[in-house]
Amino acid sequence: MNEGGLTCDAFLGGRVHAWQPARGYRAGTDPVFLAAACPARAGQSVLELGCGVGVASLCLRARVPDVRIMGVERQAAYADLARRNGLDVTLADLAALPAALRARSFDHVIANPPYFATGDGTAARDDGREAALREATPLSVWIGAARARLRPKGWLTMIQSADRLPDCLAALAGGFGAISILPLQSRMGRPARRILLRARKGGKAPFTLLAPLVLHAGVRHEKDGDDFAPVAASVLRDGAPIDWG
């Protein structure tokens, strides 16, 4: 469905629909994997930092209908679309949250921070896409904001570019434990380009590096259409949770 520079796109095999810009930053599979990685249960509360149009939160709500979700987004146009998509969203910079939100705490924080550090790569032509992909706020501030908003023993779940893992671990050293890393590998034999990260505020369990989740079957794309491996397909089409073992 199209409407004045917007498209309404389906996720989870049509269980979720979200309005997003036809041009600029558009949600793909990453927020779906983020939602699948969050261990939220019915009755718990979730804060999504930098929610964009809200696809991760929508996918999480589709799997756990009784979860309470709030989003934070600093780009007004994306915050408006997230509200249109049915989410409770605060328009704010996560580095300067309003007092009412600073007074709250959550069982879970989820986030899909920009993958590129300041100065890396070529700037996107679209301002919204540029803001979504290249950090204006350091990754350490994202993780610090998550820590501040989590209840004791609450969980942070993030998706990030694999080359930013050292930055993530350095920032998590202040107040997080029970850190688990799940590499997302496009195909067998290829480097992981994304990682899912889960960490617990005040956790004491040791660091865990899990075996990669391989997204596509076979060593190369052999035919038209997608070739997702069964586990990835169950996440992307059926809204299945990711098993952290």
**DSSP assignment string, 137-189:** S-HHHHHHHHHHHEEEEEEEEEEEEGGGHHHHHHHHTTTEEEEEEEEEESSTT
As to burial, measured by CB atoms within 10 angstroms (0-12 exposed, 13-18 middle, 19+ buried), residue 73 is buried
Tell me the residue ranges of DSSP E strands in 59-139: 68-73, 88-91, 106-111
Q: How far apart are CA 62 and CA 78, in angstroms?
A: 20
Domains of the chain: 29-217+227-238 (3.40.50.150)
Q: Are 57 and 35 in contact (CB under 8 A)?
A: yes
- Cβ 140 vs Cβ 95: under 8 Å: no
What is the residue type of 124? A
Per the listing, tokens 């509200």 go with 83
Say which amino acid occupies 18. A
* Full pLDDT tens readout for the chain, 245 residues: 567 799 999 999 999 999 999 988 899 999 999 999 999 999 999 999 999 999 999 999 999 999 999 999 999 999 999 999 999 999 999 999 999 999 999 999 999 999 876 555 554 454 544 444 445 789 999 999 999 999 999 999 999 999 999 999 999 998 999 999 999 999 988 999 999 999 999 999 999 999 999 999 866 555 555 789 999 999 999 999 999 97
Please tell me the pTM assigned to this model.
0.89
Q: Distance between the two ends of the chain, CA-based, in angstroms?
A: 39
Tokens of 17: 């629909």
User: What angle is formed at CA 58 by the lines to CA 25 and CA 36, rounded to 5 degrees?
Assistant: 95
